[in-house]
Homo-oligomer: A and B are copies of this chain.
């Protein structure tokens, strides 16, 4: 049939809700409105009565099939994108790591190869710069042409990932000139390394000490410094995974004077807290991710930051390592546990259930932070991120009366635990469309591996 009509649902966008229909043709939204006059012949009607129709989720922070800390993340592009689709995310932007000794462009090709033929939903890529060899900056315009309009740098992990302030300045300048933006992992890694060493010297080696080694001030300092350096480089700046009240304040101050600074937080910082680090045995290792989970006060500040606009994106920072692998790889102390956790599958459900259903945010704000803003920030809008005419028909059909159950046993992520084990949340994703094709329906993956397209992203 030529047309698909999503009929009877409530379409949500950033500024409101409308009881209306969506007409899809050739994978795109061709019209929004009331279409009683359309003949039945060429149209597939899908009844969405009582449902919310949301733009497909855009998760701009995932690490699939990615070499990190001596191992590889547990999800490849197949399991990872299926899990994403099942959770209502129809677009990811994954981090391509720079291979040591290799150019940025070559490293990108390596990562693109991993995705090809495997992705079940559309995907773009950021490029991580961890070794600023001569000529690296010159490749930024080429990357930009390849649709990679965002770079990532690290202010932590000296010796493996970290750039110094001068290199950060160079990347910021070069990116700005190329029409790209820079994503920053903002933690003062040098101070963290010293604190970690102090803890280990005191015999504090268990996984829970990971948290104490990375106190809030190590993040806040780095955020303030990055803002200053971006200001000197006259370049836009995007903070990944912010976790503290002080960081939100710093970003808010920068934005209030018109600086092009944006920031994300992640599902787990909004809905979990540091209590897990006090649990016995190796359990805290499940939350050995960076930055660590924080106190309740910081968590509330993050919700406030989303509502005030200081924070504009919620990502998953999906960087999964099996609990079993964490146990296998831990050496003398917490420093050798792979840093990261799963999340791409449950981001939409958890933020809806804990945010919208508990009235911390409106449904419009939910759409904004899980789809519209990430798409706009990373050059995917208006193709992705809204349910407007001409956009890709990436649609989530969510039943506000339904319930979502989370458990490691039933998840699609290729990992043996979840931080939301046993949670039962209001709201159930019934159907997910990717470019007009049904990919998830009533808990079953009905899409096709390899159908996901590489996204050429626009510049900043």
- A217 near B190 with CB under 8 A, answer no
A274 contacts B by Cβ under 8 Å: no
Closest chain B residue, CB of each to CB of A381? B16
User: Looking at the complex, which one of B18, B158, B217, B386 makes contact with A390 (CB distance below 8 Å)?
Assistant: B18
Q: How far is the CB of A278 from chain B (nearest CB, A)?
A: 22
Chain B residues with CB below 8 A from A170, complex form: 194
- B15 near A23 with CB under 8 A, answer no
Chain B residues with CB below 8 A from A228, complex form: 188, 217, 220-221, 224
User: Looking at the complex, which one of B190, B307, B382 makes contact with A169 (CB distance below 8 Å)?
Assistant: B190
Chain B residues with CB below 8 A from A253, complex form: 256
Q: Residue among A256, A309, A386 with the most chain B CB within 10 A?
A: A256
Q: Kindly state the interface size class of chain A when it binds its partner.
A: 35 or more
- B166 near A194 with CB under 8 A, answer yes
Q: How far is the CB of A375 from chain B (nearest CB, A)?
A: 9
- A34 near B217 with CB under 8 A, answer no
- A389 near B32 with CB under 8 A, answer yes
- A190 near B166 with CB under 8 A, answer yes
State in angstroms the CA–CA spacing of A34 and B231 once bound together: 44
- A15 near B231 with CB under 8 A, answer no
Chain B residues with CB below 8 A from A158, complex form: 164, 166
State in angstroms the CA–CA spacing of A215 and B29 once bound together: 51
User: Looking at the complex, which one of B18, B30, B166, B389 makes contact with A382 (CB distance below 8 Å)?
Assistant: B18
- A15 near B232 with CB under 8 A, answer no
- B229 near A225 with CB under 8 A, answer no
User: Looking at the complex, which one of B34, B229, B257 makes contact with A221 (CB distance below 8 Å)?
Assistant: B229
Q: How far is the CB of A382 from chain B (nearest CB, A)?
A: 5
Q: How far is the CB of A447 from chain B (nearest CB, A)?
A: 26
Chain B residues with CB below 8 A from A38, complex form: 37
- A308 near B258 with CB under 8 A, answer yes
Chain B residues with CB below 8 A from A188, complex form: 165, 228-229
Fill in one digit per residue for A12-52: 1 if any B CB lies within 8 Å of its CB, else 0. 01111011100100000111111101100000000000000
Q: How far is the CB of A13 from chain B (nearest CB, A)?
A: 8
- B304 near A229 with CB under 8 A, answer no
Within 8 A of B (CB), among A209-224: 215, 217-218, 220-221, 224
- B229 near A191 with CB under 8 A, answer yes
| Among all A-B residue pairs, the 9 with the closest Cβ atoms | A31-B33, A166-B190, A252-B256, A221-B228, A258-B304, A165-B190, A20-B389, A166-B194, A16-B382
Pull 10 A–B residue pairs with CB atoms less than 8 Å apart, ordered by A: A11-B389, A13-B15, A30-B34, A33-B389, A188-B228, A217-B231, A217-B232, A224-B225, A255-B256, A257-B308
